[in-house]
């Protein structure tokens, strides 16, 4: 759960950066699917959000325009995580079943 302090820190460091004049500016669309606000960012930051973080830390930053959108996005991601967790559980059950019934080596060991 992101606290409002964390959110404002994130906001300061990533979303509403004091942009130096010489840095090139671009935009990212708010990641709340229901919102079409745009967030100004430097090209360097956009590269970090979308590419570098994924390559370096296996994590993607999903910038949002406001605290409300951040919360909305967290709720959506929570739903997806729950779905993904259930799907993974089902896959593991299938794998176990398959391993014990289909693998001839297992059948020999068990008998
Ligand atoms: Zn938004």
The single residue listed with the structure tokens 């910038």 is 63
Q: How remote is the CA of residue 110 from the centroid of ligand 1, in Å? A: 57
Q: What is the pTM of this model?
A: 0.52
CB atoms within 10 A of CB 64: 24
Domain count for the chain, please give it: 1
Q: What is the DSSP letter of 100?
A: H
Tell how far the Cα of 32 is from the centroid of ligand 1, in angstroms: 6
Measure the CA–CA gap between 3 and 67, rounded to whole angstroms.
10
* Residue 43 belongs to some domain of the structure: yes
With respect to residue 1, please indicate whether it lies within any of the assigned structural domains. no
Name the percent of the chain in helix, strand, coil, to the closest 5: 65, 10, 30
| Domain coverage including residue 102 | 21-110
Note whether residue 97 is domain-resident. yes
Question: Does 73 map to a domain?
Answer: yes
- 20 close to 4: Cβ distance less than 8 angstroms: no
Give me the tens of pLDDT residue by residue for the chain, a chain 111 residues long.
Answer: 566 666 666 666 655 555 554 468 899 999 999 999 999 988 888 888 888 877 888 777 888 999 999 999 999 888 888 888 888 899 999 888 888 777 666 665 555
How much distance in Å is there from the Cα of 15 to the middle of ligand 1? 11
């Amino acid at each position: 759960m992101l606290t409002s302090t964390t959110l404002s820190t994130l906001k300061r460091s990533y979303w509403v950066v004091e942009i130096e004049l010489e840095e090139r500016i671009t935009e990212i669309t708010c990641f709340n699917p229901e919102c079409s606000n745009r967030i100004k960012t430097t090209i360097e930051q956009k590269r970090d959000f979308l590419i570098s973080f994924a390559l370096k830390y296996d994590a993607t930053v999903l910038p949002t325009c406001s605290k409300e959108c951040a919360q909305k996005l967290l709720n959506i991601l929570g739903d997806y995580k729950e779905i993904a967790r259930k799907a993974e559980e089902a896959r593991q059950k299938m794998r176990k079943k398959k391993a014990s019934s289909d693998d001839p080596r297992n059948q020999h060991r068990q008998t």
